[in-house]
Structure 1
Amino acid sequence: MSLVLDRAAQDLLFREARTANAFTDEPVTDEQVQAIYDLVKYGPTAFNQTPLRITLVRSPEARERLVGHLAEGNRAKTASAPLVAILSADNEFHEELPHLFPAAPQVKDLFFAERPVRENAAALNAALQAAYFIVGVRAAGLAAGPMTGFDAEGVRKEFLDDDHTPLMVVNIGRPGPDAWYPRSPRLEFEQVVTTV
């Protein structure tokens, strides 16, 4: 192996990790979520952009409102997951860039003055951060069930605002019985990698 990360960690994060569809009722604590975020916030993005926003859905009332916006096949697993997170892109993320670039506060206006440019940058970089978040959930010994089967506009109106674009809903917890579907195939190296 050419990887520095030991085999057990590789398996935990990738080979053995799967999208969970059932969970135990063991709670996911705020401390666990903070530890996940404190790890994954270091994942690379363009210009150190941090457009990802995480809305934790904990109360039964909020959970019921969210479930109503999900595709039918996603409702039961979300209703029973110990924790659900709505991951969204903040299209006004550029307002934080002067804090991230104190030596060059003008970066905010140089690159992101136009809303369409910000929305594209937010979508790409928040998606990167969402992927890091899912891997971070796995690193915490938990399982993630990311889903895009939901009414995005309904979720935005219910939980966010016009400056946030929902990307996915993620169920989080310890996997329960029959949590996994059979693993789907993946493309092989030769099918994906080209050398020029």
Structure 2
Amino acid sequence: MTLALEQTAQDLLFHDAHTAYTFSDEPVSDEQIQAVYDLVKLAPTAFNQSPLRITLVRSPEARARLVEHMAEGNKPKTSTAPVTAVLSVDLEFHERLPELLPHAPGLKDKYFAEADRRETSGTFNATLQAGYFILGVRAAGLAAGPMSGFDKDGVDKEFFGDGKQKSLLVVNIGRPGEEAYKPRSPRLAYEDAVTIV
């Protein structure tokens, strides 16, 4: 065996996991989402940055506001998922660096000029964290339905009116419903994606 992760865990996270398109009525608790976050917050980012912010959409009013900004094909599943997470980047994430990196005082002022902070460092690391979040949802035995098909400016105005956060991804979360999955699309083979030099 070449992987330390047992087969059951590999299947849960990768082999048997698919993007979900329908969800059952079974609720997803705040405790489940907290367990997901408490796991994935430990995954690596540059300089221990933690720019990802998660907005959980639960109430019918908030859901209606979100659905209004979803692409047409994403509206039905977003309307019926037990909970939907809007994943965003905190553009002021660097203000928390002193508490995250107490051994490196002054780091936020030295390396995080506004342009780099907003467009490169924050967005890159929040996107990395979004990938961890999807795996965390799977690790909780839940299905994730990540979507980029939405009006980002509309969602930002609706949920982040102060301009300090920018949405990256919307993820429906729950137990899979009937006909939840489409057939898995092909992936590149090892020899097509990996070069040894």
Give me the TM-score of the superposition, normalised by structure 2.
0.98
Q: Distance in 2 between matches of 1:95 and 1:24?
A: 40
1:21 and 1:158 map into 2 onto residues whose CA distance is 24
Q: Tell me the secondary structure at the aligned position of residue 133 of structure 1.
A: helix
The runs of 5 or more residues in structure 2 that have no matched partner are none
Q: Aligned ranges for residues 108-119 of structure 1 at < 5 Å?
A: 108-112=108-112, 114-119=113-118
CA deviations 1:122-170 (Å, max 9, x no partner) are: 1100011000000000000000000000000000000013121100000
Backbone CA RMSD of aligned residues: 0.6
How far apart are the structure 1 equivalents of 2:55 and 2:149?
17
- Structure 1-normalised TM-score? 0.98
Q: 1:116: how far off?
A: 1.0
Output aligned runs, 1:160-171, within 5 Å.
Answer: 160=160, 161-171=162-172
- CA offset digits 1:67-100 (Å, max 9, x no partner): 0000000000000000000000011100010001
Q: Tell me the number of residue pairs that the alignment of Structure 1 and Structure 2 aligns.
A: 195
Q: Distance in 2 between matches of 1:77 and 1:137?
A: 17
Structure 2 counterparts to residues 12-161 of structure 1, below 5 A: 12-112=12-112, 114-119=113-118, 120-160=120-160, 161=162
SS at match of 2:10: helix
Structure 1 unaligned spans of 5+: none
Question: Percent identity of the aligned residues?
Answer: 64
| Residue type at the aligned position of 1:174 | R
Checking the alignment, whether the CA contact within 8 Å between 1:99 and 1:105 is kept in structure 2 is: no
Displacement of 1:103: 2.1
